[in-house]
Structure 1
Amino acid sequence: MDLILFAVPFFFLLIGLELLADRWRGVRSYRLADSLNSLSAGVLSTSLGLVTKGLALLTYDFAWRHLGLFALPSDSSWVWLGAFVFYDLCYYWHHRLGHERNVLWAAHSVHHQSEEYNLSTALRQTSTGFLFGWLFYLPMAVAGVPPQVFLTVAALNLLYQFWVHTRHVPTLGWVEWVMVTPSNHRAHHAQNAIYMDRNYGGVFIVWDRWFDTFQAELDEHPVVFGITTPLASWNPLWANLQGYAVLWRDAVGTASWWDKGRIWFMRTGWRPADRVAAVPQVKADLSQFVKFAVPLAPARQVYALIQFGFYVLGGSYLLAHGDSLSGGALLLSCGWMMGSLYSLGAWLESRAWAMRLECLRLLLNVPALLLAQMLGLLPAGGAAGWSLLLYSLCSAVALGWLRRRAVV
């Protein structure tokens, strides 16, 4: 069973409940564009993960079969419990190095880009973490943890982390000493200097206490969420590329060949001296911090929300059927999802060409549908195909109405 797919309806149910709690308590922890951007990053990550997850699975399985020191049984509760704890220790170091090394931060920073903090932030995941992430869990394979156990405890660890992304749960007393909680994870998502690079555990906060990386949330230092080099975009594709682009510009721009290579693996924030002099980066004054925002008419916000709902259905379909799809079908699906989410980001940013891009996207749904039927992604003449055409037609009508409304 794919636990993440099973959990998707509960994720959205809990997000709905948090929205009600926001309204009841007068807390504004949600903005539509920010939340859609976070959720879009999550949809993009799960979609592309169907293509990229093979790297981690193949390397783990190879290490388990050929390098495993023990033959641990998969039907032992002690193996499962030990694997759950072991995974979180590996996750701690994966997470910590994700904050402490430039190239790893380029991937992980996606999760921290939101300037809000709510349950939608939990679903904001990187699409490029597969490049190095698999390395941190090979010790489990060498220890003999079976692949099916590894995959399940990894999913359980990720599911646990969902609930700690909320502002509605206060400190939890003694629990703060043992478990990751909303309070100590809020501190982790801060860009305040006092909270930077702290609280890396996924389930257990004891690792941070043991390795001296713990910092409690303090009333006298209200958390300012986000990253010190703001994304300033609602586009999930750029969200995944921004960190690499910054490093690439410095690597290309520096005169030192040594610095061109080592910048990727230096401590996060390190830059060649000549690049610091030529292009200084001034950190924002958090006392004057202003969240990124782009004005968007209510009708256009509704259109964006409806479009995203359709993408969620598409992403859920891929999660449910991804293992049975051909390579060509997966690539087509991921390409369609990337193009759609890029268009949504442009729409939320109110780009001058966003309307034209949406029209093009809807027109391309027709050849995309025919290609999907040829590749076996969708049955010819099935309800899914007709639904896609009807959705495209209704969206085109809505676009025409929005355009006329803007002119009038």
Structure 2
Amino acid sequence: MNFILYAVPFFFVLIALELLVDRWRGVNNYRVADAINSLSTGALSTTTGLLTKGVGLVTYAFALEHLGLFTLSAESAWVWVFAFVLYDFCYYWLHRMGHERNILWAAHSVHHQSEDYNLSTALRQTSTGFLLSWIFYLPMAVLGVPLLVFVSVGALNLLYQFWVHTRHIPKLGWFEWFFVSPSNHRAHHAQNALYMDRNYGGVFIIWDRLFGTFQEEDDNEPVVFGVTTPLASWNPVWANLQFYAQLLDDARRTERLWDKLRIWFMRTGWRPADVAVKYPLRKPDLSQFRKFEVPLDAWQQAYVVLQFTVYAAFGSYLMNLGDSLPVAALVLGWSAMAFGLFVLGVALENRPWALKMELLRLASNLPLVWLAPLVGLWPASALGWVGLISYSLLSGIALYCCRGRLTRLAS
């Protein structure tokens, strides 16, 4: 059973509820651009996962068959409990190494880039984590945890982590001795020196207490959310590439071959000495910290929000039918999603070329509606043509009616 697919509507309901609680309490934990950026990275991650989930599943199945020391039964309740706890133990080490090694931080940093903290942050996920994350779960295969159980407890672990991404729930007393809570996970998302690289557990905080990585949220040290090298962008594609690009630049610039190789596997933040001297990175002073912001008027924000809902619906469609769609259809769907979300990111950043990119995005719907039935993304139907062309025309009319404002803001 795909628990994540069924949970998605509840995610959005809870986000809406959190917005109401924000309003009731007179606080503002959401910014439109930041929330759309987080949701966009989540949508891109989910769509990418439809193409890449085989990496983890195939390697796990192979290890289970050829390296498994035991054969555990999915019919036994204790196997599920054992697998649930073991999964979180493996997740702890994946998560910890994701903060401590450059190549793994390049993937995981996406989840930490938001400078706000709310339930939309929970959905902010990497699209490249599949490359190496599977390695950390191989012990479960060696111990004979069935594939069905592995996939199921993994989904449950991820679902648990959603609710801890909120600022509205205070400390929970005894609960926090054993389980990850909103309070100790807020500390995990901080860029303050006190909290940095702490509280890695997904469900159980006991691993952090056992291995010396626990840090309680301190009322005297308000959390500053985000990463020490800010993303400074609303683009979900760049969010996934930023740290890889930095590592690649450093590897290219350093003169030593050994440094070109080892930079990827050194502790997070390590840079070759010659590169660090020539190309120093400027770290913001937390005492003068300012969140990244791009001026947008209410119309621009509303337009991007409405356009994003189209991609959210498209992503739900792909998730619902992902297992039955051919690879060519998934590739086309992923391409349309990635390009569309990239363009919305350009719009949120108010780039001078945002209007041209938006017109190109709308025009790309014509070849999309023609190609989709050919590769099996959806059946050939006049309704598909009418729907996409109508959507493109209505969007074009909205752009035309406000062209003066767009031109003025872009200049």
Normalised by the length of structure 1, the TM-score is 0.99
Determine helix, strand or coil for the equivalent of 1:265: coil
Partner residue of 1:74? 74
C-alpha displacement at 1:388, in angstroms?
Answer: 2.2
2:47 is aligned with what amino acid?
S
Change (3 A) 1:220 1:254: same
1:244-279 CA distances to partner (integer Å, 9 max, x unpaired)? 001011100001111000000000010111011111
* Secondary structure, aligned partner of 2:345: helix
User: Which has the larger displacement, 262-271 or 378-387?
Assistant: 378-387
Paired AA for residue 262 in structure 2: R
Q: 1:291 to 1:65 in 2, by over 3 A?
A: same
Give me the whole-angstrom Cα distance separating, in 2, the residues matched to 1:38 and 1:405.
Answer: 27
Q: Which whole-Å CA distance do the structure 1 matches of 2:174 and 2:384 have between them?
A: 51
Aligned counterpart, 2:36: 36
Supply the distance in 2 between the matched residues of 1:382 and 1:8 (Cα, whole angstroms).
Answer: 30
Give the letter aligned to residue 105 of structure 2.
Answer: W
Distance across 1 between alignment mates of 2:280 and 2:362? 42
Contact 1:300/1:402 (<8 A) preserved: no
Structure 2 residue aligned with 1:261: 261
CA shift at 1:387, angstroms?
A: 2.2
1:46 matched to 2:38: no
Contact 2:48 2:334 (C-alpha < 8 Å) held by counterparts: yes
Counterpart AA for 1:229: T
Equivalent residue for 2:205? Answer: 205
| Mapping for residues 116-265 of structure 1, pairs under 5 Å | 116-265=116-265
Q: CA deviation at 1:383?
A: 3.8
* 2:204 alignment partner AA: F
Please name the residue that 2:110 is paired with: 110
Provide the residue aligned with 2:392 in structure 1.
Answer: 392
SS of the residue 1:281 aligns to: coil
- What does 1:340-379 align with in structure 2 at a 5 Å threshold? 340-379=340-379
Amino acid at match of 1:215: Q
Are the counterparts in 2 of residues 365 and 392 from structure 1 also a CA contact under 8 Å? yes
Q: What is the CA-CA distance between 1:386 and the residue it aligns to?
A: 3.0
> TM-score, normalised on structure 2?
0.98
Asked if structure 1 preserves the Cα contact closer than 8 Å seen for 2:355 and 2:406, the reply is no
Q: Distance in 1 between matches of 2:267 and 2:161?
A: 26
SS of equivalent residue, structure 2 residue 5: helix
* CA RMSD, Structure 1 to Structure 2 (Å): 1.0
1:9 partnered with 2:4 = no
One-letter code aligned to 1:316: S
Give the gaps of 5 or more residues in structure 2: none
Change (3 A) 1:320 1:385: farther
**Partner Cα separation in structure 1 for residue 330 and residue 75 of structure 2:** 33
Q: Judge conservation of contact 2:369–2:384 (CA < 8 Å) in 1.
A: no
Distance 1:239 1:406, change over 3 A: closer
Whether contact under 8 Å (1:164, 1:181) holds in the other structure is yes
Residues 301-380 of structure 1 mapped to structure 2, 5 A cutoff: 301-380=301-380
Contact 1:378-1:385 within 8 A present in 2 as well: no
